[in-house]
Amino acid sequence: MNVTDRLINPVLEKEFRLRMRSVKSIVAILSYLVAMALLAFGFLYVTMNDYGMQAFNPERSQMLFYFITGSQMVLICFMTPGLTAGVISGEREKQTLNILLTTRQSSASIILSKLAASLSFMVLIVIATLPLYSMVFLFGGVSPSELISVFLFFLFVMVMLGAVGVFFSTMFKKTMVAVILTYGFTVVIYGFTGLFAIFLSAILPRGNMLAGYVLGTNPMGALLSLLNEDFSREVFGRASSLQIWHIFVPFYTLVTVLAILLSIRYLRPILRKPAGNGKQ
């Protein structure tokens, strides 16, 4: 075996090849870019009408950055489950999974390759939106380090949603069920946790940090805290240096690791030692 053989996992290579060949992928990339571009230019159009070209200052440019980033975050939550919730159940439905499972590929390498392949596709899509951000840099107001941290955050959320999608795909026979559950999970963490945090902050006395912790499970909340340090202070109080994303990252790292480990465990049937057989 030479070096490339060892580095490029066959399942990963296969996923790349098949994905890049399907028309669906191209349509996905195109529609994502069109959606992002429409949103960005829509924002520009509206603000320019209101204030005119001169008024487009760094502050407004920062607004545009927040707007693009927020939209991207929402689009990611729409795309990632669709891309990952079918990776195992899809093979099961196409009746290719059995054959794959009789090869010498380990469960871990199958699961991780599939996750990596769908995520690389998402990364490709997100990187394809970089030119949109050039508009922001044109007008200033945003530092490259902010942009980098936002992209890292995107990557983190994609890995997490992807792992959950792969988990449901492994545990449920039907892709349809896996897709619905993954979107259900997404709706819960994007919407439900946010609403719950608002509700808690309304009924709990000032200074109680529970609402902040709940918001810490919300990607939008974590993103806001990443973009604006003052946001966390509003939730956790002036004195606290705790940031919402400080809760988000460890919590979902745990979720991601668990989802991946369980997928690896349950991909193949658990071949227990039959009862009555002594140790050989």
Partner 1 sequence: MIEIKDLTKRYGSFTAVDSLTMDIAKGTVFGFVGPNGAGKSTTMSILATLLAPTSGSAKVGGFEVTEHPGDVRRLIGYMPDFFGVYDNFKTTEYLDFYGASYGLSRAERKKIIPQLLELVNLSDKAEFYVDSLSRGMKQRLCLARCLVHEPELLILDEPASGMDPRARIEMREILKELKLMGKTIIISSHILPELAEMVDEIGVIEQGRLIAKGRVSDIQQGMRANRVLHIRLLEREDEALAMLAEEPYVSMSYLDEQGIHLHFGGTDADQAALLGRLIGHGYRVVSYSEAQTNLEDVFMEITKGAKLS
**Using CB under 8 A as the criterion, which residues of the chain lie in contact with partner 1 when the complex forms?**
1-2, 4-5, 10-11, 13-14, 17-18, 21-22, 94-96, 98-105, 268-277, 280
From residue 190, how far is each of 96, 100, 107, 119, 171 by CA, in Å?
A: 34, 35, 31, 19, 23
Nearer to partner 1, 5 or 50 (CB): 5
Nearer to partner 1, 3 or 53 (CB): 3
Residue placing its CB nearer to partner 1 in the complex, 101 or 262: 101
Residue 100 or 123 having the CB closest to partner 1: 100
The minimum distance between CB 106 and partner 1, in angstroms, equals 8
Closest contact distance (angstroms) between CB of 11 and partner 1 is 7
Largest CA distance in the chain: 83
- The CA R_g of the chain, rounded to the nearest whole Å, is 22
The closest of 198, 15, 231 to 116, measured between CA atoms, is 15
Shortest reach from residue 254's CB to partner 1, in Å: 29
Least distance CB 10 / partner 1 (angstroms): 3
Residue 202 CB, nearest approach to partner 1 (Å): 50
Concatenating the DSSP letter of every residue in 42-102 gives: HHHHHHHHHH-GGG--HHHHHHHHHHHHHHHHHHHHHHHHHHHTTTTHHHHHTT-HHHHHT
Closer residue to partner 1 in complex, CB, 14/233 = 14
Contact 201, 231 (CB under 8 A): no
Compute the least distance from the CB of residue 7 to partner 1, in Å: 12
246-262 b/e (C-beta count within 10 Å ≥ 16 → b): ebbbeebeebbeebbeb
Give 35 or 108: the residue with its C-beta nearer to partner 1.
108
Helix, strand or coil, per DSSP, at residue 157: helix
